[in-house]
Each structure stands twice: as structure tokens, then as C-alpha cells.
Amino acid sequence: DVTADRSCRTLLWNYEEVLALLGAFPGVVPLVLCGHAHTGATAFDAKSRTHHRTCYSPLEFPGSYGCCAVMRDGEIRIEGRGS
């Protein structure tokens, strides 16, 4: 149930351990970026207060790019092209 097609093929082999660790320290890791997935994905884990973002595959969107900036106030901005 944790992936769109329920295959879990794109998850870390120890994702449950990682989620438990993030949940033990809520708010410490505000964002996890990974990629790529052909259709992209986004989720929020309320226990750890962590946003999870899987970037779109550049194979699906030629010429795509992304940029992530962390502001002084802690705001995280993600900008890009291709999705």
C-alpha cells in the first residue's frame, strides 16, 4: 500500500526502519527528496512531520530540471520545469 502500484519496488529495503527513526525525532527532517519515478510522487508523514517528494523522471520530460533552496527562515522552495 505504500507505493502507487503496491509493488514497493522503488522503496528503500529498510524504509520501515528509516520511517521509525524519522518518527522518533518529529520535525527534525522536514523534507526527503528522492528520485526518480516516472510519474513522480508526494506524501506527508504526520508522525515525523516529514514531506516526501519523488522527482519526475527526466526520461518522461526531456529538458527538465529542478532546483531546491532552503531559506534562512527554514522555508524550502522547490522550483523546476518538466512536470
Percentage of the residues of the chain whose pLDDT score is greater than 70:
81
User: Which phi-psi region, left, alpha or beta, contains residue 53 (left: φ > 0; alpha: ψ -120 to 50)?
Assistant: beta
DSSP 21: H
Q: Which residue has the higher pLDDT, 49 or 63?
A: 49
pLDDT of residue 56: 75
pTM equals 0.73
pLDDT single digits (tens) 16-32? 899 999 999 999 999 99
pLDDT of residue 38: 67
Q: What mean pLDDT value characterizes the chain? A: 81
